[in-house]
Structures are given as C-alpha cells and as structure tokens.
Amino acid sequence: MNNTGTLKVTTPTDREVVMTRVFDAPRRLVFEAFSKPELLKRWFGPRGWSLVVCEVDFRVGGGFRFVLRGPDGREMGMRGVYREIVPPERSVHMESFDDYPGSDSQVTGVFVEQGGKTTLTTTVLYSSKEVRDIVLKSGMEHGAAESYDRLAELLASEKAAA
Amino acid sequence: MTHSEQLDRTFAALADPTRRAILTRLASGEASVNDLAKPFSISQPAISKHLKVLERAGLISRGRDAQRRPRRIEAKPLADANSWLERYRQFWEGSFQRLDDLLDELKIREKKTKKHGRAKRARGEQR
C-alpha cells in the first residue's frame, strides 16, 4: 500500500522538522494543489479552519499571503516568499507567522512519483533554535489565549445577568 | 535547565540513529550497558559515550542495582518533545486528509476531460 495516508514526522537535527506523506495521485496534480490558490483554499489548514485569504504569486521571488480562520472566528495570518520552483518536483519558500515576527523558517518540498503515487517530503528549517522555541511557545500561548477568551466571555455574560 | 535548553538537548540527543535505537530498546524495559551494546557493531566505550549524551539530556537514568547499573528511559522530556511535534501532526493531518479528497476529484476530472477529448477527435471535430 506504500503507506498512503500516513504522516511521518521526524527531527533529524535540533533546527529541522521533516514530514513525509504519500498521496494516491501523480505528482503533477499534488504539485498543482500546492501552487494554485483556488486549490489551496480547498485543503490548507487544520480541521475546522478555512483559508479566507489566499494570495499566491507562484514564481521565484513572488510572495504568498494566507489567513486562516478558526471555528471560533480567530484568525491566523502567515506570509512568505518563493525561493525556488521546479515543477513538479521541488519548491522552496520562506514563511513566517504574523503573530510571531521573526519566526522565519525555510520550507523545502520534494515530490517523488512512483507507480502513480507521490511521496512528499517537507523539511522545515528554523532560522535559529530561538525561532523554533518561539513556534513551540506559540502553541502554548494559543492554548492560554483560548482559555482567557472563554473566561472573558463568562465574565461578560455574568455581568449581563447581574 | 530552562525548557528551551532541555528541548535543545532532547533534539540533539535524538539526532543520532544509534541513540534512537538505544531509546527504542529501553522503551521495552531497562537494560545493562552490555545488553545495550549487543545488537550494535560498535565498541562498548562508544555505546557508553552515547549513553552519556542521553543521560545528560535527561532521557535515560541509572537503575538502583549497583552491579549491573541498568539504564532506563525517562518519559517526561520525550513527551515534551513529542507534544511539540504533535502540533505539526494536527495541522498537517487535517490538511492532508482534505487534500486526499481533492486529489481524487482532480483525477476523475482529468480522466473525463481526456475521454471527452478522444470522443471529439473520433467525431472529427477540431479541438
């Protein structure tokens, strides 16, 4: 079965994260899904989130701008620049999150096709260990922010009731 | 050690295949240095060096038996590193499952267009 559908995540060094995933489609189509905004809109983002802004200037030196909106209406913006584009086998871009200025990372995607299936290997290289830690902390802060929001809501509703 | 330093050490320690293999072995129970050296084609001092790195990173500790000094795995730092990776997994697993569906759709659409094109050509129409 070639492990279709199984996401593998590893950390070969202390600044890199590598993800591997097999798709049951030729790489031409997988590459297209990563480069065309009308297609990206249909899949990019965690469950329950939608890509409400998706601007893509898919050429070397061109930029992209994404805004994801969560189920609670919270938005998460990210932007980046394409560094290298070799359709349909390789692309390299820089990316950072709006909420965390300086959170730059380099993302390399390698698309390998075999027997009609495509193995995508994505390597995320953080510019420093500090950046990696910012990203790590962001997860915790997001969690904290969510609980504060709920607390604020609760206080507001109690005020209204009083 | 700060959280950040701990994470540095964890990832540095995990960046070596022999050390990962040692951890995998220890995940199924404690073992002496001799036991740990057996499956590898490297010397016992080399294994000891790897064990020192793992120990400094807090990923393993020594058991009470003074003679055998068995090593055992420490779960907490590994769990911390793992929860970091879990965020990646959540983001990308959701995305990629939707991408699977989209790719299926694109494949079907492509097949239809090809068939349609062939039929047109068979009828002698211009493309």
**B92-121: per-residue pLDDT in tens?**
888 999 999 999 999 999 888 887 777 767
Number of alpha carbons in the 13 Å side-chain half-sphere of residue B106: 23
Provide the shortest C-alpha distance from residue A97 to chain B (in Å). 14
pTM over 0.80, yes/no: no
Reported as a single tens digit per residue, the pLDDT across B32-79 is 888 888 888 888 889 999 999 999 988 899 887 777 788 988 877 776
Strand partners, A93: A82, A107
Q: What is the DSSP string of A27-78?
A: HHHHHHHHH-HHHHTTT-SSTT-EEEEEEE--STT-EEEEEEE-TTS-EEEE
Task: Select from B11, B95, B102 the Cβ nearest to the Cβ of A11.
Answer: B11
Under 8 Å between Cβ of A61 and A82? yes
pLDDT, residue A152, reads 38
The answer to whether residue A6 neighbours chain B at the CB level (below 8 Å) is no
Any residues with CB less than 8 A from the CB of B6 and at least 6 apart, and which?
Answer: B57, B58, B77, B80
DSSP-based three-state secondary structure for B27: helix
Helix (H) or strand (E) holding A146, with range, is helix A129-161
CATH topology of domain A8-127: Alpha-D-Glucose-1,6-Bisphosphate; Chain A, domain 4 (3.30.530)
Per domain, the residue ranges of chain A are 8-127
Q: Model ipTM?
A: 0.74
Reported as a single tens digit per residue, the pLDDT across A59-84 is 999 999 999 998 888 888 999 999 99
**Closest-CA residue in chain A for B86?**
A9
State CA B96 to chain mean position distance. Answer: 18
**CA B48/CA B54 separation, integer angstroms:** 10
What's the token pair of residue A137? 């902390």
User: How distant, in Å, are the alpha carbons of A1, A114, A144, B29 from that of B24?
Assistant: 25, 31, 33, 10
Q: Determine, for residues A45 and B96 on separate chains, whether the beta-carbon distance falls below 8 Å.
A: no
The answer to whether residue B91 neighbours chain A at the CB level (below 8 Å) is yes
Provide the shortest C-alpha distance from residue A111 to chain B (in Å). 14
Catalogue all structural domains in chain B, each as residue range(s) with its CATH number.
Answer: 3-73 (1.10.10.10)
